[in-house]
């Protein structure tokens, strides 16, 4: 039995899709456990590139079962579009299941996501993906959400949609937006539900069954721990918990099944959307990193903000989520950048601290303290083993591991599946 969680340790886009696809070769089941199509996970192999938003990144491994668990929010149209995209790409041989307890993202959620952003002054905008994620989770916790089991049941869907839209139309019209037509949404989304019905099951029972049989399950996080609704830089966060701690709740498996947590981290930092980002810098080096790393959002195409690696952030994620090994990504992007900086602590009102303050105004007053390391200039994209790396790259990886207090289990030096080296075979140890 093995339950390996892959999580983002920063603000998302760390390369979780690549790591999940890579590890999925050894997995029996791959599970997305939170978020929705706000995520964009890129997978590159055999000169092909796929961007997944809802479907787990194990979908290219025909042996693996792929599961969308109860903790996710599902836009049925987006899921059908993604299945069509896979079909067009020749990816048809897979096993896929969708939780009957996952919540549904409906047009009112997308409208409200946009409205809530639009009415905020610039400095308060979260910069959401406008995919309806926040309002769908809000409905879930307000107990007025619509679940997949309702979507596929004609009477339940009509009843719950009517109540839900009555409430949301009051808000939309109060803000001068047109009311959403209940019949039109029902007709369109009931059809989507029927198309998704063959995938729907009780995924908690499925997952516990395979874990009891001693199989290997890979849990794929979306977003990153600093976007966590509880442990992130609130309110500039997403509306779910992208931590390993949330896996049992969001999938319906016992915590005892979680054996390993792979924390995926970029060799530097990026953030897309608003919110405090202490190690951010805006100069030629940032542009160079943005170009070399193709740092534009997979879901929204927005340029990502660039910063030095922040080990206060990584230690925070290690604490709130549990991380047993680091997967350091995009090391190749730092080639030619010399010197390199790593943030080791913050200074708040003259005091050196090693934590992320809860208050955003306190966080904004923090000043990062850095160590400086030498860079390297050799091409590392064809590395075959750790010892091939230039000394400065080895030193950079070793320094990260020492500062965070976790071993490096993998590192990556190019987008392709093959540009990956495993130091600790987490799926088999
Ligand atoms: P995710 O959301 O965590 O799955 O990450 P994204 O897919 O949104 O963003 C990561 C980006 O980095 C994608 O474009 C990947 O193809 C790319 N990528 C992943 N690992 C590497 C790497 O080691 N080097 C380079 N150059 N690109 C990488
Ligand atoms: P992956 O899985 C990076 C950010 C948005 C915004 C905030 C809230 O690809 O790493 P939301 O639409 O979730 O309400 O937006 O969270 N965000 C992400 N940033 N990668 C993601 O996912 C993200 N998903 C949401 O930019 O700042
Ligand atoms: Mg992404």
pLDDT, residue 299, reads: 77
H helix runs in 175-310, sequence order? 182-196, 203-212, 247-251, 284-292
pLDDT, residue 256, reads: 95
Nearest to 396 by CA among 217, 285, 258, 268: 268
- The CA distance from 67 to 24, in Å, is 13
Nearest atom in ligand 2 to the alpha carbon of residue 134 is 14
Task: Band the pLDDT of 127: cuts 50, 70, 90.
Answer: very high
Given 21, 28, 41, 316, the catalytic residue? 41
CB contact at 8 A, 293 and 15:
no
Cα-to-chain-centroid distance, residue 139: 21
What token pair was written down for 159?
Answer: 């009843």
pLDDT, residue 1, reads: 83
- The mean pLDDT value for 245-271 works out to 97
Mutual angle of helices 76-88 and 182-196, in 10-degree steps: 40
Residue nearest to atom 8 of ligand 1 (CA): 13
CB contact at 8 A, 250 and 33:
yes
Ligand 2 neighbourhood includes 17 CB (under 6 angstroms): no
Cα-to-chain-centroid distance, residue 318: 16
- The CA distance from 38 to 60, in Å, is 21
Residue nearest to atom 5 of ligand 2 (CA): 128
Tell me how crowded residue 79 is: count the other CB atoms within 10 A of its CB: 24
Does the pLDDT at position 298 exceed 90?
A: no
pLDDT digits (tens, 9 = 90+) for 398-415: 999 999 999 999 999 999
Annotated catalytic, 75? no
CA distances from 213 to 162, 217, 244, 330 (A): 43, 11, 22, 36
Q: What single-letter DSSP state applies at residue 389?
A: S
Does the pLDDT at position 273 exceed 90?
A: no
pLDDT, residue 372, reads: 98
pLDDT digits (tens, 9 = 90+) for 154-177: 999 999 999 999 999 999 999 999
Q: Tell me the sheet residues that pair with 2.
A: 216
Distance 80 CA to ligand 2 centre (A): 21
Give residues whose Cβ lies within 5 Å of ion ligand 3. 13, 40, 298
CB contact at 8 A, 136 and 54:
no
Distance 299 CA to ligand 2 centre (A): 9
Pick the CATH number of 103-198 from 1.10.3720.10, 2.30.110.10, 1.10.300.10, 2.60.40.10: 1.10.300.10
Q: What single-letter DSSP state applies at residue 344?
A: E
Q: Which DSSP string corresponds to 213-232?
A: TT-EEEEE--S-GGG-TTTS
Nearest atom in ligand 2 to the alpha carbon of residue 14 is 10
Gyration radius from the chain CA atoms: 21
- The CA distance from 132 to 147, in Å, is 15
Consecutive H or E run containing 17:
helix 16-23
Distance 136 CA to ligand 3 centre (A): 20
Nearest to 37 by CA among 94, 113, 97, 88: 113
Question: How many degrees, rounded to 5, is the angle at CA 182 between CA 178 and CA 186?
Answer: 135
Nearest atom in ligand 1 to the alpha carbon of residue 297 is 8
Pocket of ligand 1 (CB under 6 A): 8, 12-18, 40-42, 44, 293-294, 298, 329-330, 332-333, 412-415
Q: Which DSSP string corresponds to 50-67?
A: EEESSS-TTTT-TTSEEE
Task: Band the pLDDT of 300: cuts 50, 70, 90.
Answer: confident
Distance 12 CA to ligand 3 centre (A): 6
pLDDT, residue 297, reads: 85
Return the best residue to mutate from 223, 276, 305 for the ligand 2 pocket (most ligand atoms within 8 A of CB). Answer: 223
Tokens 């959400």 belong to which residue? 145
Task: Band the pLDDT of 356: cuts 50, 70, 90.
Answer: very high
Nearest to 150 by CA among 38, 140, 97: 140
Mean confidence (pLDDT) of the chain: 97
Distance 142 CA to ligand 1 centre (A): 35
Task: Band the pLDDT of 301: cuts 50, 70, 90.
Answer: confident
pLDDT, residue 302, reads: 87
- The CA distance from 226 to 332, in Å, is 24
pLDDT, residue 58, reads: 98
- The CA distance from 1 to 4, in Å, is 10
Annotated catalytic, 41? yes
Q: Tell me the sheet residues that pair with 367.
A: 347
Nearest atom in ligand 2 to the alpha carbon of residue 242 is 2
Question: Using CB atoms within 10 A of its CB, is residue 88 exposed (0-12), middle (13-18) or buried (19+)?
Answer: exposed
* Predicted structure pTM score: 0.97
Ligand 2 neighbourhood includes 131 CB (under 6 angstroms): yes
Q: Cis ω on the peptide bond leading into residue 235 (within 30° of 0)?
A: yes
CB contact at 8 A, 8 and 223:
yes
Given 13, 100, 139, 150, the catalytic residue? 13
Residue spans of the domains in the chain: they are 2-96+202-422, 103-198
What token pair was written down for 21?
Answer: 């696809």
Distance 136 CA to ligand 1 centre (A): 27
Q: Which CATH class is domain 2-96+202-422?
A: alpha beta
Ligand 2 neighbourhood includes 272 CB (under 6 angstroms): yes
């Amino acid at each position: 039995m093995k339950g390996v969680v892959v999580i983002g340790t920063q603000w998302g886009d760390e390369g979780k899709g690549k790591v999940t696809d890579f590890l999925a070769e050894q997995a029996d089941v791959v599970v997305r456990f939170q978020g929705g199509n706000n995520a964009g996970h890129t997978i590159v192999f055999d000169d092909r590139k796929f961007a997944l938003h809802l479907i787990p990144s194990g979908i290219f491994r025909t042996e693996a079962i792929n599961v969308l668990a109860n903790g996710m929010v599902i836009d049925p149209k987006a899921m059908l579009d993604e299945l069509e995209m896979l079909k067009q790409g020749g990816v048809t041989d897979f096993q896929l299941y969708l939780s009957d307890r996952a919540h549904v993202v409906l047009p009112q959620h997308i409208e409200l996501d946009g409205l809530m952003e639009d009415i905020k002054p610039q400095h308060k905008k979260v910069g959401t993906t406008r995919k309806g994620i926040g309002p769908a989770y809000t409905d879930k916790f307000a107990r007025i959400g619509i679940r997949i089991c309702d979507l596929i049941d004609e009477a339940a869907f009509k009843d719950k949609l009517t109540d839900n839209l009555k409430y949301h139309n009051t808000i939309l019209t109060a803000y001068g937006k047109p009311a959403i037509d209940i019949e039109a949404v029902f007709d369109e989304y009931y059809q989507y539900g029927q198309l998704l019905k063959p995938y729907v099951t009780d995924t908690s029972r499925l997952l516990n069954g395979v874990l009891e049989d001693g199989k290997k399950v890979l849990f794929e996080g979306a977003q990153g721990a600093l976007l966590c609704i509880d442990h992130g830089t609130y309110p500039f966060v997403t509306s779910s918990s992208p931590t390993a701690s949330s896996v049992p709740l969001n999938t319906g498996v016992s915590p005892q099944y979680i054996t390993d947590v792979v924390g995926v981290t970029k060799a530097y930092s990026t953030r897309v959307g608003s919110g405090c980002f202490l190690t951010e810098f805006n100069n030629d080096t940032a542009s160079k990193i943005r170009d070399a790393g193709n740092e534009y959002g997979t879901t929204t195409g927005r340029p990502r903000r660039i910063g030095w690696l922040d080990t206060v952030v990584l230690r925070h994620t290690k604490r709130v989520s549990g991380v047993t090994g680091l997967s350091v990504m995009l090391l190749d992007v730092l080639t030619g950048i010399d010197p390199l900086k790593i943030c080791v602590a913050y200074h708040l009102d003259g005091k050196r601290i090693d934590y992320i303050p809860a208050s955003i105004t306190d966080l904004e007053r923090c000043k990062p303290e850095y160590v400086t390391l030498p860079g390297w200039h050799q091409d590392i994209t064809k590395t075959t083993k750790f010892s091939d790396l230039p000394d400065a790259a080895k030193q950079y990886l070793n320094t990260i591991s020492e500062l965070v207090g976790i071993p490096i289990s993998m590192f990556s030096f190019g987008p392709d599946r093959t540009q990956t080296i495993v130091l600790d075979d987490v799926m088999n140890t």
